[in-house]
Structure 1
């Protein structure tokens, strides 16, 4: 388990920071292990005012009592930095603690704190225009990469641009847990991460939209986007403000199949896609596709395809023709299920 300590100060931007926390939580969920533990420190125990005026917060530790077993120091963005007394104490803390940690990650004007602590000396960083102008004053031996929004130099990760906190978190996840896990986390964020397809490749999916379409179509989109979620008829009916019997009747009339049949076919289809990639363990595929345990997934595959998941994977990887689940008949308005993203948390 990797301990990530967030170095807090007044005027931190909570929205970008929340995206970092959410991404790390998703990474633990996708990897099936407790990959990260989060904590925080500040120059004192007093409540800090965030950049957003509606919230104040406190750190877990004073920098004087911060625990030694820290893997990563995270320095977030915030409002304009004035380097007040408490900021100077944080800078001193960063300078002392950096040699003992595996890496330092900074985004937005958090890079200024890293520079003031001497962490960026002789290293390359990325920074927005306003931050760049101050870097030369704080640490003249810092090199700025002008053509990238994300960069690693030695043990220092820096990010700028759109959603820098999220972009940086994904890089840490990829470094620790692999590209497949980082890609899965990225796809869960959908449109909030503008360069997801550029970084991890285009997925045969799209984000669900609830702006239009009948209740049945909205249910279909939600199921295809969330195969591992709670897809009981009761839960789905609540989402579209219908009774369970009313939804079940409408779904059957429109598609010719029950809600349960559609859900199972989507989950099996998603499991098949992951088996084709050959990258995940079958027990993880069972969990991520909503099929439950490995034993339950095996039973469903034997019933539907006449073979076990491992045998199915071997046949696909050896180009043997298989009877894959077809969902075309289930999906309204000509939508193909492969156009919906897998795994979005409700």
Structure 2
């Protein structure tokens, strides 16, 4: 018996006649690319077609050579060569990531196809390490960009003319859109749908795909705990847990050093060596993560959240959010608030 698509038939919020000309997405792949970098955005555009009840988007795949292109997980995708692609304008050129863009130099044939197709594209976008390919072709010169957090330093070092945002989910700089690692390609594609057809359509697409709408470009790629290394010593592991569990406590260098029986100078040196981050910086990020969670899950006032997270004042809370997530606390709460738990604050 045929499978019913009833649960995938979402009601559009705007009539199909407003859709206009089908938007052509051309994705550039290469040997060893990350499948999710392609599949995630492609499924977003496919879902948008169902929401809009029209073929609003088409997705084509191209590579330096035609035929099967192997992904990093062994699955192969059939691609056309540049010569086999139909002529005409491209709405969005999407360059996917993988290990190949980290090679130095990047395959010249890959750079050539991207730069040639970019001339025909209204928008140029990359997922994960696809930013390295765009940079190699000179397409990111003097742009604000991002990529996977593991290689942001490398991108900035290879291309000092770029303004690399190390924690952003995605960044738009003119007609150039770059996203962070792997699943953030979905966030990027949802942002492109919102840019084309409005946030309500993007929200319906995200709902149908059961994904979180919508992490703004400035949301951090990862939490404080993921950023830091795991300490080798039991004492520092216990101290790390204490910091994360007690953000409003005295977490100054002297107090923390006393808890582990070290001088402040020696403690700072050992903590930084074992966790890969200075203690003051770790405390700030841990408190920011606490405030972020409280904004997402409570109705507490910003004054209360600033106190409970150890940040102190609403003025400092605002500065911390602008520094870490590029949005105000109020904007963050409006975009990310989940089911609200009662609070006595």
In structure 1, what is the Cα distance between the partners aligned to 2:105 and 2:78? 18
1:52/1:147 CA distance change after superposition, 3 Å: closer
State the 1:162 CA deviation. 6.3
Partner of 2:44: 23
In structure 1, what is the Cα distance between the partners aligned to 2:111 and 2:82? 11
In structure 2, what is the Cα distance between the partners aligned to 1:23 and 1:47? 23
1:82/1:19 CA distance change after superposition, 3 Å: closer
The answer for unaligned runs of 5 or more in structure 1 is 200-338, 340-346
1:58/1:198 CA distance change after superposition, 3 Å: closer
RMSD of equivalent CA atoms = 2.3
* Contact residue 149 and residue 166 of structure 2 kept, 8 A: no
Partner of 2:238: none
* Contact residue 36 and residue 183 of structure 2 kept, 8 A: no
CA deviation digits over 1:146-168, x for unaligned, max 9? 34211100111111146111111
State the 1:102 CA deviation. 0.5
CA deviation digits over 1:311-344, x for unaligned, max 9? xxxxxxxxxxxxxxxxxxxxxxxxxxxx9xxxxx
Tell whether 2:202 aligns with 1:182: yes
Partner of 1:292: none
| Moved segments of 4+, more than 6 Å | none
1:197/1:136 CA distance change after superposition, 3 Å: closer
Count of aligned positions:
195
Q: Which piece of structure 1 moves more, 172-181 or 83-92?
A: 83-92
In structure 1, what is the Cα distance between the partners aligned to 2:157 and 2:145? 15
* Contact residue 43 and residue 86 of structure 1 kept, 8 A: no
Q: Which piece of structure 1 moves more, 146-155 or 108-117?
A: 146-155
Normalising by structure 2, we get a TM-score of 0.52
1:80/1:98 CA distance change after superposition, 3 Å: closer
Tell whether 2:110 aligns with 1:90: yes
In structure 2, what is the Cα distance between the partners aligned to 1:69 and 1:130? 34
Tell whether 2:213 aligns with 1:196: yes
State the 1:16 CA deviation. 3.6
In structure 1, what is the Cα distance between the partners aligned to 2:70 and 2:135? 23
Partner of 1:102: 122
* Contact residue 187 and residue 214 of structure 2 kept, 8 A: no
Tell whether 2:146 aligns with 1:126: yes
Query: Secondary structure, in 3 states, of the residue corresponding to 2:107?
Result: helix
The 5 Å alignment of 1:1-346 reads: 1-53=22-74, 55-59=75-79, 61-66=80-85, 67-83=87-103, 87-161=107-181, 163-190=183-210, 193=211, 195-196=212-213
* Contact residue 112 and residue 131 of structure 1 kept, 8 A: no
Normalising by structure 1, we get a TM-score of 0.52
1:44/1:165 CA distance change after superposition, 3 Å: same
State the 1:140 CA deviation. 2.5
1:39/1:161 CA distance change after superposition, 3 Å: closer
* Contact residue 7 and residue 41 of structure 1 kept, 8 A: yes
The answer for unaligned runs of 5 or more in structure 2 is 1-21, 217-338, 340-345
* Contact residue 95 and residue 117 of structure 1 kept, 8 A: yes
Query: Secondary structure, in 3 states, of the residue corresponding to 1:91?
Result: helix
In structure 1, what is the Cα distance between the partners aligned to 2:140 and 2:88? 22
CA deviation digits over 1:108-159, x for unaligned, max 9? 1111101111111011011223332332354331111234211100111111
